[in-house]
Structure 1
Amino acid sequence: MTRTDDFEELRPLLFAIAYRILGSVSEAEDAVQETWLRWEAVATRPASTKAYLSAVVTRISIDVLRSARVRREQYVGPWFPEPLLNDPYEDPERSAELADSLSMAALVLLERLSPLERAVFVLRDVFGFGFPEIASAVDRSESACRQLAVRARRHMDAGRPRFEADRKEREELAERFFDAFREGDVDGLRELLAGDVQMVGDGGGKAPQWARAIAGAEHVSRLLVALAHPFVQIGVGAEPHEINGQPGVIFRDRDGKVINIMALDIADGRIQTIRSVINPEKLTHLGPVADAWAVMREANRARREEAESGR
């Protein structure tokens, strides 16, 4: 195999590592591209191409994450990862770990870890790398990496999200939820929501978002219905799609431009959390992005006109 073939074969793994460390599609793609440039400059092939390239992309991702953490501390409102529709890396032997680590809930939880803890956790618990390889990747001793792994695992276990084990049941519940949403069925929505459900939006100060999380089945179901009807009136479409390995939907305006995504955490037969990403900077990799402010203005205008006509 050529040098290029070696790299392309490992590209899905490299992106998967970088995305889980960074929580950003664009930054992960940049990290993989930088890894390629360094790979081109290597004079002799290493003993293990996989170990070498994984170490390089990990080091690059750690450096990027350290600078990104300052920006995230100044972020307006809740921070969610850039939504990922399809994970390019597949490994049947680690499918459970890969799926769990990809969810928005898990990536938000990873934000609590230091960059080194995060990298060690991703390499060890998600991708199953040995400690000698991890030590080389993060430039720490094996003993130090074991300690980092223990600390990271403790943090993750304390807040690890629970998901519906049966994918088919989860998808059926999500389908019922989005049907009830489109139909404006408050009762239908309420019965699918956990009593303490939360709906949280990430607009980053660049798009409409709620000032705080909306909590409780009654409040969330009524807010969803209040949004649904005017959206339908102005031609907003809801495209079901897996988001970060969980059931979700992409909302598009009448021209097909992306408005936002919504991802569902489902456990115990109920929807526990609804996360919406509407920050346009986090949606550009999904295609042309709509002006969410303009969409909301049009929806509000449609709501007012309907109310006035009903008087």
Structure 2
Amino acid sequence: MDRSEEFQELRPLLFSIAYRLLGSVSEAEDAVQETWLRFATSPTRPESVKAFLSATVSRIAIDVLRSARVRREEYVGPWFPEPLLADPYEDPQRAAELADSLSMAALLLLERLSPLERAVFVLREVFGFGFPEIASAVGRSEAACRQLAVRARRHVDAGRPRFEADRAKRDELAGRFLDAFRNGDVGALTSLLAADVQMIGDAGGKAPQWVERFTGAGAVAGVLATLMPMFARIGAQVAVHPVNGQPGAIFRDRDGGLISIWAFDIADGVVQTIRTVSNPDKLGHLAPVADAWAALREAGN
């Protein structure tokens, strides 16, 4: 097997590592491409190609993450990861870790960690790498990596998101919620919301701020009641689709252009959080994006 074939075989793993470190599809793809360039031009063949590539993509992602933190502090409004509709990497032995770490809530929790803590946590807890490999990837001793892992795990455990254990129940409830939204049934929507539900939107200053931050079933139901007729006037179509491994929805205009992606956190038989992403810079990797400002003008007529 030549280098290109070896790299392509490991590409899904490399992307999955980079995405969990960066929360950005475009930045993760760039990190993977840079990893390939370094591998292709390396004068020697590494003893373990998987270890070499995983370490390389991790180091690149750590550097990007350090600079990204400054940009995120200047971001307009709430910041969310770029939505991912499907994870290209699968490992049956680590399916639970991979699924839990992909959710919007989990990625936002990882944002609280330092870049090194995040890298150590992702490589150890999500992908099951040994500490010798992790030490090589992050440029720290094994002892230091173990300390970083303990600190990171403590932070994550303190804020770990809760999800409905039964995935089928999650999907069924999300389907009922979106049916109620399509039908304009505010009562049914309200009954599916937690008392302290949050609805938060990421538009990044580049799309209409349909939602910013609302808390409580009454407030969120009111926002949804306002959005329902607006979306109907522009012929918006909503399709149920997993988003970052959790129930979600894709909103398109009548021409099929993406308007927004919604992700739901569901636990205890109700919706706990609704996160919406409408920043076009975060949607372009999924499909052509609608002109949301034109849609807003049409909805106002």
Q: For residue 121 of structure 1, report the CA deviation from its aligned partner.
A: 0.5
CA-to-partner distance for each residue in 1:13-33, whole Å, 9 max, x for gaps?
A: 000000000000000000000
Q: CA deviation at 1:293?
A: 1.7
Partner of 1:123: 123
Map of 1:184 onto structure 2? 184
Number of equivalent positions: 301
Q: 1:245 to 1:159 in 2, by over 3 A?
A: same
Name the residue aligned to 1:15: 15
Residue number in structure 1 paired with 2:146: 146
- Mapping for residues 75-224 of structure 1, pairs under 5 Å: 75-209=75-209, 212-224=212-224
Output the CA distance in 2 between the equivalents of 1:151 and 1:291.
44
Q: Distance in 1 between matches of 2:73 and 2:147?
A: 26
Give every structure 1 segment of 4 or more consecutive aligned residues whose post-TM-superposition deviation is greater than 3 Å.
Answer: none
Q: Partner amino acid for 1:112?
A: R
Specify the SS of the correspondent of 2:250. Answer: strand
Equivalent AA in structure 1 for residue 28 of structure 2:
A
Q: Deviations over 1:270-301 (max 9, x none)?
A: 10000000111111101111121221121121
Which letter maps to 1:132? P
1:51 — aligned with what? 51
Cα deviation, residue 212, structure 1 = 4.4
What RMSD, in angstroms, separates the aligned Cα atoms of the two structures? 1.0
Matching residue's letter, 1:9: E
Gaps of 5+ in 2: none
The whole-number CA distance in structure 2 between the counterparts of 1:155 and 1:207 is 33
**Match of residue 63 from structure 2:** 63
* Inter-partner Cα distance in structure 2 for 1:108 and 1:245: 14
* AA matched with 1:201: G
Q: 1:146-195, CA deviations, whole angstroms, 9 ceiling, x for partnerless residues?
A: 01111111111111100111111100000000000011111100111100
TM-score, length basis structure 2 = 0.98
Amino acid at match of 1:205: G
Q: Distance in 2 between matches of 1:285 and 1:139?
A: 32
Partner of 1:305: none
CA distance in 2, matches of 1:212, 1:261: 14
Q: Is the 8 A contact 1:200 1:210 kept in 2?
A: no
CA contact (8 A) 2:199 2:212 kept: no
Partner residue in 2 for 1:263: 263
Structure 1 counterpart SS, 2:285: helix
TM-score (norm 1): 0.95
SS of equivalent to 1:243: coil
Deviations 1:57-91 (A, max 9, x none): 00000011111110001111111000000100000
Give the 3-state SS of the residue equivalent to 1:284 in structure 2.
Answer: coil
Instruction: Name stretches of at least 5 consecutive residues in structure 1 with no aligned partner.
Output: 302-311
- Whether the 8 Å contact between 2:233 and 2:298 is mirrored in structure 1 is no
SS at match of 2:153: helix
Equivalent residue letter for 1:67: S
Q: 2:279 maps to which residue?
A: 279
CA 1:259–1:211: 2 relative to 1, 3 Å: closer
Letter in 2 for 1:262: W
Aligned partner of 1:239 in structure 2 is: 239
1:293-304 paired onto structure 2 within 5 Å: 293-301=293-301
Cα distance in 2 between the residues matched to 1:130 and 1:210: 45
Q: 1:249-280 CA deviation, whole Å, 9 max, x = no partner?
A: 11111110101100000011110000000111
Residue identity matched to 1:76 = V
Question: 2:200, 2:211 within 8 Å by CA — same for their partners in 1?
Answer: no
User: Whole-Å Cα distance in 2 between the matches of residues 210 and 286 of structure 1?
Assistant: 20
| 1:144, distance to aligned residue in structure 2 (A) | 0.4
Aligned AA (1:158): A
Deviation at 1:213, TM superposition (A): 1.2
